[in-house]
């Protein structure tokens, strides 16, 4: 009986219920861990599929570059042409052996002598024939050519060895021969060169003139007033705000890491710190204004009468009369004066804000147009210095 009860007690300690409960806990633990593992694998697989799809749909790096530059990958070609143009814009002397320069002159004169045929008789006959017909043949006399050739040869003998001479290189590209077409590697490029004062200078324009000009360019009146105040406050020498108190709030606003520098604008991207000026507005200002050079006037040869009127505050009729005066003022038979045509005050505005010349020491604006891209640069030829370069 006792043995039977002990056996039942032992059997109870190893009952099926206890064993089943232990296996159930282990099975539940395994199922929970397996679910987490499968879930993680599913997430990773989904991410991999999404990334593969994204990279398949996204353009390659060269394609993105093409899209950014908005032209086929001929950037190296057009930039090479552009650099060549800028380099050739300034003719400057080159130090050479003086005897080489003299020999070059001798060769040129000798070629003239050879082209005359060694005998002046045929040339003289042709000269006489054309003279009878009312024409004049401007060909140097052979004796004069021989005399000049002998003089150059004697001068070459007197040049000491090692003497240095400055050989002048002509300007290949300048304001005087713009625009022109440049052929390079089977493609034509249009080169245009403008004086720096072809556009108003933001560093020197009066606030009221700037506001009026912005309105003419299509900016809404109130926005033009506010923008002109910000731009002038940004670079003027004093720290007092113009009408509208624009400088004070800007100076005290800690959101802007750069305050009004109260000095000339060096780069257009500096203007991005002004409230309301974004990349589109900077491009707009860059297209229509300049910040380089020191000329506060605009060149009327590169501006429309309407633009001149907006800049100078003159009436269209006054601008037309002033342009007619500029066109005829050097004619000895023209006896009009600018004051007599448009009045003293308007003539003063014209002389202070308008010009027809461009100083040699001022920057120029260079435009190189390809098939699908335009390169622009503000360039100082005298120093061979690029001030700004951008695409349109």
| Residue-wise pLDDT tens digits, 275-302 | 778 889 999 999 999 999 888 899 999 9
- Residue 24 predicted with pLDDT over 60: no
Say what the pTM is: 0.60
CA 22 to chain CA mean position, Å: 81
- Average pLDDT value for residue range 192-202: 92
More confident residue, 62 or 23: 23
Token pair listed for 332: 């000895």
In angstroms, the first-to-last Cα distance of the chain is 108
- Residue 241 predicted with pLDDT over 60: no
- Dihedral sign from CA coordinates of 288, 292, 296, 302: negative
Distance CA 150, CA 348 (A): 59
What is the SS3 assignment for 136? coil
- Residue 257 predicted with pLDDT over 70: no
Across all residues in the chain, what is the average pLDDT?
Answer: 76
Q: Please report the pLDDT score of residue 13 as a whole number.
A: 44
Distance CA 52, CA 71 (A): 28
Distance CA 137, CA 145 (A): 16
CATH of domain 197-391: 1.10.40.60
Distance CA 142, CA 117 (A): 9
The domains of the chain are located at 2-57, 93-168, 197-391
* CB-based contacts of 24, cutoff 8 Å, min separation 6: none
Q: Please report the pLDDT score of residue 173 as a whole number.
A: 74
More confident residue, 256 or 134: 134
Q: Please report the pLDDT score of residue 122 as a whole number.
A: 66
pLDDT digits (tens, 9 = 90+) for 116-152: 665 556 666 777 777 777 777 666 677 788 888 888 8
- Average pLDDT value for residue range 258-277: 79
Token pair listed for 154: 């004697």
Instruction: Quote the DSSP letter at residue 197.
Output: G
pLDDT tier for residue 51 given thresholds of 50, 70 and 90: low
Give 351's Cβ-side CA count (13 Å radius): 10
Cα distances (Å, whole numbers) of residue 275 to 193, 212, 234, 252: 33, 20, 11, 13
Which residue in this structure is represented by tokens 């040339």? 123
φ and ψ at residue 281, rounded to 5 degrees: -70, -35
């Amino acid at each position: 009986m006792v043995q039977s009860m002990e056996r039942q007690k032992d059997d109870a300690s190893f009952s099926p219920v206890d064993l089943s409960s232990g296996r159930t806990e282990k099975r539940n633990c395994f199922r929970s861990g397996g679910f987490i593992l499968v879930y993680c694998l599913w997430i990773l697989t989904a991410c991999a599929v999404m990334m593969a799809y994204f990279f398949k749909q996204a353009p390659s790096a060269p394609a993105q570059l093409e899209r950014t530059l908005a032209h086929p990958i001929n950037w190296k070609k057009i930039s090479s042409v552009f650099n060549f143009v800028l380099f050739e814009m300034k003719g400057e002397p080159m130090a050479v052996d003086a005897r080489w320069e003299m020999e070059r002159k001798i060769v040129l004169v000798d070629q003239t002598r050879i082209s005359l045929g060694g005998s002046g008789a045929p040339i003289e006959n042709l000269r006489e024939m054309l003279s009878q017909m009312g024409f004049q043949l401007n060909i140097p006399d052979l004796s004069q050519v021989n005399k000049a050739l002998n003089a150059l040869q004697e001068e070459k003998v007197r040049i000491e060895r090692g003497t240095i001479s400055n050989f002048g290189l002509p300007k290949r590209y300048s304001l005087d021969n713009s625009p022109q077409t440049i052929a390079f590697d089977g493609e034509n490029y249009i080169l245009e060169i403008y004086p720096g004062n072809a556009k108003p200078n933001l560093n020197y324009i009066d606030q009221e003139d700037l506001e009026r000009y912005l309105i003419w360019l299509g900016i809404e009146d109130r926005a033009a007033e506010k923008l002109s105040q910000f731009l002038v406050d940004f670079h003027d020498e004093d720290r007092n705000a113009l009408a509208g108190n624009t400088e004070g709030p800007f100076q005290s606003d800690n959101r802007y890491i750069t305050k009004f520098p109260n000095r000339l604008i060096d780069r257009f991207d500096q203007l991005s710190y002004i409230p309301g000026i974004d990349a589109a507005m900077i491009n707009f200002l860059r297209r229509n204004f300049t910040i380089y050079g020191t000329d506060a006037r605009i060149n009327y040869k590169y501006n429309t009468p309407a633009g001149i009127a907006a800049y100078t505050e003159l009436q269209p009729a006054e601008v037309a009369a002033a342009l007619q005066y500029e066109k005829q003022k050097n004619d000895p038979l023209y006896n009009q004066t600018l004051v007599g045509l448009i009045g003293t005050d308007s003539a003063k505005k014209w002389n202070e804000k308008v010009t027809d010349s461009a100083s040699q020491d001022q920057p120029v604006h260079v435009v190189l147009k390809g098939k699908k891209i335009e390169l622009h640069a503000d360039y100082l030829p005298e120093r061979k210095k690029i001030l700004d370069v951008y695409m349109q």
